[in-house]
Amino acid sequence: MGEWVYRFGGGKAEGGAADVERLGGKGAHLAEMASLGLPVPPGLTIVCDACTHYFNSGRSLPEGLKQEVLDGITAMEELTGRVYGDTARPLLLSVRSGARASMPGMMDTVLNLGLNDETVRTLAVDSEDPRFAWDSYRRFIQMYGCVVMGLDHEVFEEILEDEKAKAGHEYDTDLCAAEWQEVVQLYKHVIEEELGEIFPQDPHLQLWKAIGAVFASWMNPRAATFRMLHRIPEEWGTAVSVQAMVFGNLGSSSATGVAFTRNPSTGENALYGEFLVNAQGEDVVAGIRTPQSITEEGRLASGSEKPSMEKLMPQVFAEFRAICTRLEAHYRDMQDVEFTIERGKLWMLQTRSGKRTTKAGMKIAVDMVEEGLITKEQAVCRIEPPSLDQLLHPTIDPRVERHVLGSGLPASPGAATGEIVFTAEEAVHAEEEGRKVILVRIETSPEDIHGMNAAEAILTTRGGMTSHAAVVARGMGIPCVVGAGSMRVDLRNETLIGVGGVTLHRGEVITIDGSSGQVLRGAVPMIQPALSGDFAKLMAWADETRRMAVRTNADTPQDARAARDFGAEGIGLCRTEHMFFEGERIHAMREMILAEDEKGRRAALAKLLPYQRSDFTELFSIMHGLPVTIRLLDPPLHEFLPKTEAEIEDVARAMNMPPAFLARRIDALHEFNPMLGLRGCRLAISYPEIAEMQARAIFEAAVAAAKRTGEAVELEILVPLVSLRAELDYVKGVIDRVAAEVGAENGSPIAYLAGTMIELPRAALRAHVIAETAEFFSFGTNDLTQTTFGISRDDAAAFIPTYQRKGIIEHDPFISLDFDGVGELIQIAAERGRRSRSDLKLGICGEHGGDPDSIRFCENVGLDYVSCSPFRVPIARLAAAQAAIERQGKRSVSS
Ligand code: PEP
Ligand code: MG
């Protein structure tokens, strides 16, 4: 192997699957397949480093690269018996991108290199049908014209559409050789006209330019957006594979297709794929013709009349099936393969780990453990925790009547409702306005990626299960229906026409059922999915593996129940302030805030006590003996007061006081910086009667719930926004006194822990001192991020995206923990806290408690639990298991 180039072909290869970092996914697996002796057209892969070099050196190919490529081509010539640039036996090449991570359709490819005005004639004579040669040449000119010369796709499409219209043809395949030849002339002409240069005839010039252009496509805007969405570092660069062309468009014994070794939508262990006879690769993914099923089973399931590959080409099918089985056993994972059949000879063009729905991923992982292919731990690591969201998506209530507008293929599961929009831009705009939309397109292309990301669901009227829309939506975990051929998109009038001519306009609401493929009129009642079967099995394996407990942030019975169903092992944060807004409570709360003295406050607090007690009793009962952390009142008091003039008038009337008086009281409570003002433990210190009432409600509820459930409540009381030990000592004094009183009233002492939020840098730094009082710490990373950065968490959205775009920060620190700064404070607090109190319980209850990367950090710092919103509980369970497995792995490597 050279410095820049690895070769493969003829049953041998330099490098293999282990070299993904150097060779990119495509290159590494082509090499692996070649080494396995599978039929792979010979080729070479230019390493990713060459791409980085290309950009660092002002867009020039590295020294020595050309010679290594030429040597590689000589090897291909020996294997194929053809010569690149030769007019008698021309070798044609493909030049494809292939990064370390899969980036479907984001970068460019050029096919049919080596064709020119002379070689096209040899090809025309060699093939049975000269149509093929001229069609290939026009494809080449079009691809090269767009990718290398920078012309718009439409320039060529318009010419083709005109030619078809002139000749009265409906499909591209209807054009004869002479007509394609005419298209070639027009394409060459338009290039000259638009760019003032002629289409290059020198195959070597074509090759170097194409390699450069494919490198350059690493930086195109759609690739950059995709990298940002998937956190792929820019410095990786892409590898480039240069490979001998094989043709699926050489007549009826030729074909091209894509397949998954198991069903990517359901996970069923059955070969699943699509192919097109007499076509080239891009025809299948482009969704221009609706492809045929590979297997008979698939054909029957789709109700297609067109014959399957199994029936049409039984021998090649048998060979293909055997290769798929071999690849799956070799990689121990479901594979997504691309192949071409050239005059009855099968060629494998790509294999990679196949993208799948989470449901399918679960089934495949569980089945593979049961088939003995992988271990339980490997299965647990196979599922991306955020993708569990897909399983938690609502589905349409089966009891409701469906007003079906049309249907297509069920490309990505789950159901979603939204307004119809027809462009990606509109989808993005609507999302910014907080509107939910369904992106409706004839077909999607990589340019639509930002709009797809903004939409609730995607509907296309063309294309198959492997079309761009289907693949991308599955990856994003949003519902998608593709190939809804019974519906029509009329872009000029901005309408979607359903079965029977029902016409819907832009902005009208539809529902997409990505599990059945149906498109329904209006909004439809949904139900939550049952989390059983494979999900339950895999989550049980995750639970066996993880070290940290997973709790939930919940302050309503509804959230607490949902979290229990999702497997929460307690409540890590109950924010009591949310309990003061409902109905009568807000009046008593306002009375308390506006009271002129302690007596008045106590009178109002007495009205709040029963509400608090019954809320806590309910939560404790639902949690049935599991730990529950209740936080004392945290926010600044004016958050409970009316804001607008009209509200002030309403409230004043209800409270029987003049509006001007109320307005003056509100003014008096005004703070310049409420987030840094009278809140958290500062409230309990200023008005201890509030903490007293809350403590009494908590303890009385604990007694009541224990009686109701027969289980003692594992009670933790959390004091917010502490920075000084003396603050905690004071508030803990109040809590302990009330506990003693309630204990005495009930004739038995009450067990509880008193702890503090660590959400201010001073608290983290003085953790060893604070831990002398605190029996547990709960890291409030929302406030800790806010106060460490000095960035208001409520105003961050105004500039964090700009910071990200300008590369100043990679991630939003309010979503994914800032390991270097906030993380270091957590580490310091954990170490210092445990130094003073070795059994100090440590948890996290900020938003980061549900973020997989932050959870990994928590595992490594040795926290005891993470706490997150109910819907993120399964994600946290899985992420915690993966973090534990990763940590174990690191430990065993270093020991
Ligand atoms: C925090 O600050 O991280 C926290 C959990 O508290 P809140 O979000 O209620 O301020
Ligand atoms: Mg906080």
Average pLDDT over residues 406-422: 90
Kindly state the average pLDDT of the residues 779-784.
96
**If you measure from the C-alpha of residue 556 to the centroid of ligand 1, how many angstroms do you get, rounded to a whole number?**
17
Nearest ligand 1 atom, CA 575: 9
Mean pLDDT estimate for the chain? 92
Measuring from atom 9 of ligand 1, which residue has the nearest CA? 575
- Token pair, residue 717, equals 């009381």
Same domain, 738 and 819: yes
pLDDT class for 481, splitting at 50, 70, 90?
Answer: very high
- How confident is the model at residue 646, as a pLDDT? 85
Range of the domain at 437: 394-527
Same domain, 43 and 175: yes
- Average pLDDT, integer, range 510-528: 90
Number of domains in the chain: 4
Q: Which of 760, 789, 845 has most ligand 1 atoms within 8 Å of its beta carbon, as the pocket-test mutant? A: 845
Among residues 211, 244, 277, the one where a domain terminates is 244
Give 822 Cα–ligand 2 centroid separation in angstroms. 14
What pLDDT is attached to residue 870?
84
Residue 468 covered by a domain: yes
- Domain edge (last residue) among 244, 276, 305: 244
Say yes or no to pLDDT of 527 above 90.
no
pLDDT tens profile 713-727: 999 999 999 999 999
What pLDDT is recorded for position 287?
Answer: 58
Tell me what the mean pLDDT of segment 290-311 comes to.
Answer: 91
pLDDT of residue 349: 95
Residue 654 near residue 603, CB atoms below 8 Å: no
**Residues at Cβ < 5 Å from ligand 2 ion:** 759, 780, 783
For residue 825, the model assigns a pLDDT of 98
Do 781 and 803 belong to one domain?
A: yes
Do 275 and 240 lie in one domain? The reply is no
Tell me: pLDDT of 472 over 90: no
The model's pLDDT over 352-364, given as tens digits with 9 standing for 90+, comes to 999 888 889 999 9
Yes or no: say if 787 and 765 are a contact pair by the CB < 8 Å rule.
no
Q: Is 575 known as a binding-site position?
A: yes
- Whether 540 has a pLDDT exceeding 90, the answer reads yes
Whether 176 and 147 map to the same domain: the answer is: yes
Nearest-10 Cα torsion for 735, 737, 738, 742: 130
Cα of 641 to ligand 2 centre, how many Å? 20
- In a shared domain, residues 406 and 480: yes
**What pLDDT does 2 receive?**
82
CATH number of the domain that residue 421 is part of: 3.50.30.10
Q: Give the binding-site residues of ligand 1, using a 6 Å CB cut-off.
A: 573, 575, 634, 759, 780-783, 845-846
Cα angle at 293 between 291 and 296, to 5 degrees? 155
The answer to whether position 631 is within a domain reads: yes
Which active-site residues does the annotation give? 468, 845
Return the pLDDT at 285.
Answer: 62
Residue 183 confidence (pLDDT): 96
- Strand-pairing partners, residue 251, are none
* Residue 738 within a domain: yes
**Do residues 819 and 733 both lie within one domain?**
yes
First to last CA, the chain: 35
Which ligand is the nearest neighbour of the Cα of 779? 1
Is residue 377, in this structure, part of any structural domain at all? no
Task: Give distance in angstroms: CA of 845 to centre of ligand 2.
Answer: 9
* Candidate of 578, 777, 783 to mutate for ligand 1, largest count of ligand atoms within 8 Å of Cβ: 783
- The count of other CB atoms within 10 Å of the CB of residue 372 is 7
For residue 537, tell me if it sits in a domain: no
Higher pLDDT, residue 464 or 522: 522
Q: In this predicted structure, what is the pLDDT of residue 738? A: 98
What CATH number is associated with residue 176? 3.30.1490.20
Does residue 268 share a domain with residue 188?
Answer: no
Q: Please report which helix (H) or strand (E) contains residue 608, including its range.
A: helix 598-623
Question: What is the predicted pLDDT for the residue at 892?
Answer: 66
pLDDT recorded at residue 400: 85
**Residues 434-457, mean pLDDT to the nearest whole number:** 89
Q: Is 781 annotated as a binding residue?
A: yes
For ligand 1, atom 6, name the residue with the nearest CA. Answer: 780
pLDDT at position 121 is 94
Residue 585 burial (10 A CB sphere; 0-12, 13-18, 19+): middle
From the number of C-beta atoms within 10 Å of its C-beta (0-12, 13-18, 19+), residue 850 rates as buried
Residue 384: inside a domain, yes or no? Answer: no
**Same domain membership, residue 270 and residue 156:** no
Residue 529 has pLDDT above 80, yes or no: no
Cα of 845 vs centre of ligand 1, distance in Å, is 7
The answer to whether the CB of 44 falls within 8 A of the CB of 8 is: yes
**pLDDT of 697 strictly over 90:** yes
Phi, psi of 504 (to 5 degrees): -115, 140
| Residue 645 belongs to some domain of the structure | no
Atom of ligand 1 nearest to the CA of 759: 2
> Do 264 and 147 share a structural domain?
no
pLDDT at 628: 98
To the question of whether residue 783 is assigned a binding role by annotation, the answer is yes
Q: Which amino acid is at 362?
A: M
Of the given ranges (184-188, 304-308, 638-642, 691-695), which has the lowest mean pLDDT?
Answer: 638-642
CATH of the domain at 829: 3.20.20.60
Separation of 783 CA from ligand 2 center, angstroms? Answer: 5
Asked if residue 105 belongs to a known ligand binding site, the reply is no
Q: What is the pLDDT of residue 288?
A: 61
Whether 550 and 598 share a structural domain: yes
Give residue for tokens 């990713």: 48
In this prediction, residue 475 has a pLDDT band, given cuts at 50, 70 and 90, of low
How confident is the model at residue 895, as a pLDDT?
53
Domain boundary among 186, 211, 244: 244
**Cα angle 313, 318, 322; round to 5:** 145
If asked whether residues 300 and 237 sit together in one domain, one would say no
Question: 552, 574, 634, 683: which to mutate for ligand 1, most atoms within 8 A of CB?
Answer: 634
Identify the band that residue 411 occupies on the pLDDT scale cut at 50, 70 and 90: confident
> Is 382 among the domain residues?
no
Q: Which ligand is nearest to the CA of 780?
A: 1
Average confidence (pLDDT) over 443-461 = 88
Instruction: Taking residues 234-248, report their average pLDDT.
Output: 96
Predicted pLDDT at 893: 58
**pLDDT mean over 391-415:** 84
Q: Of all protein residues, whose CA lies closest to atom 4 belonging to ligand 1? A: 780
